[in-house]
A = this chain, B = another copy of it.
């Protein structure tokens, strides 16, 4: 099926159970799809932009209200929408980090956090995750002390993933923030896998910044995201422009340079907004997501030789498994090699595993129904049985 200009129409989420690690939380709600259709045109949210001419002041559609609601929902003081979580990282890094400054990251940090540090001229100091792949407050304290010895000063910012992209593990943001604050280090909580998925309370986490991803976890189109902060830090990261034209004397009102002025002027923002009521509701039922994940993960663990590399029991539906001792043994002699596995999944209505992967791979059960979870659980076992693997 083509959707014009020779582009094939994507039907992944219409035809399959999609367990792609990064896609499960960004599937649009029906309301978002309607908003996408109504606000597809370029600058579609600017019809009623009036002075002071800034996106987050537009009353119709209710963008101003949405910004307030976003901040309240995250229990932070102020929020802005951004073109992806990474642009939130960039704004914060550019605000807090100067050339040569040490910056805390973790051994599980996402590449976009590293790029934000690189762009700002900072130096990466990774907090090591422990053997269980969890980043702890103790490890943060040790890394800060190491950085102080090495650079003669404490790091100027900490990027802490609430849930990391590799294992989907929940890290101790609160404990790490407590330690970091003793050194006056502001903490950015990277909620790309949590904001819109599970409850996130920025104040409770002691976060100075909470960043979320619209297209990863808030059922919104790409690129979209949120950067929320405290009353203290908003003066820094959301400071207004001070540059002026040397000749004309022009000034540029209350535009915010870290955001490059307005950010999401159309479909991306409206998709986020239309999904927001649903997203607020769905995080309240996160336990159901873990229950569905358990159905699937237990099925995988029933296949001899399969390991769950993520923390267990799971606290997040993004899960990393090692099937070197199970599906990969089949791949060794299968005529389709590793592709037998992804191929069989697709034949059974499951999409989102990297084609050919049979050793270490990730899946995300987020957003599926219990019926779908049972189907997926059965598919894994069936593929295993059909290929002679032992089930217990």
Contact bitstring A64-90, B, C-beta under 8 A = 1, else 0: 000000000000000000011011011
B38 & A112 in contact (Cβ 8 Å cutoff)? no
B47 & A4 in contact (Cβ 8 Å cutoff)? no
B223 & A264 in contact (Cβ 8 Å cutoff)? yes
The segment from A23-31, A156-164, A182-190, A381-389 that touches chain B is A23-31
* CB under 8 Å from chain B, chain A span 201-247: 214-216, 219-223, 241-247
The segment from A7-15, A169-177, A327-335 that touches chain B is A7-15
B37 & A36 in contact (Cβ 8 Å cutoff)? yes
C-alpha gap A275/B42 in the complex (Å): 12
The segment from A114-122, A301-309, A318-326, A368-376 that touches chain B is A114-122
* Inter-chain contacts of A36 with B (CB < 8 A): 36-37, 40, 267
C-alpha gap A305/B55 in the complex (Å): 35
Residue A128 lies at the interface, judged by CB distance under 8 Å to chain B: yes
* Inter-chain contacts of A117 with B (CB < 8 A): 243
Interface size band for A: 35 or more
* Inter-chain contacts of A43 with B (CB < 8 A): 20, 22-23, 26, 215-216, 222
Q: Which of A264, A265, A273 has the most CB of B within 10 A?
A: A265
C-alpha gap A278/B29 in the complex (Å): 30
**Could you list some 22 contacts between A and B, CB below 8 A?**
A3-B31, A5-B278, A7-B38, A10-B47, A10-B61, A12-B41, A12-B44, A13-B41, A26-B42, A33-B40, A42-B220, A84-B260, A86-B261, A87-B260, A114-B243, A115-B243, A118-B241, A125-B246, A126-B245, A221-B221, A223-B223, A268-B268
In the A-B complex, the 5 residue pairs with the smallest Cβ-Cβ separation, listed nearest first, are A26-B42, A4-B31, A222-B266, A42-B215, A83-B83
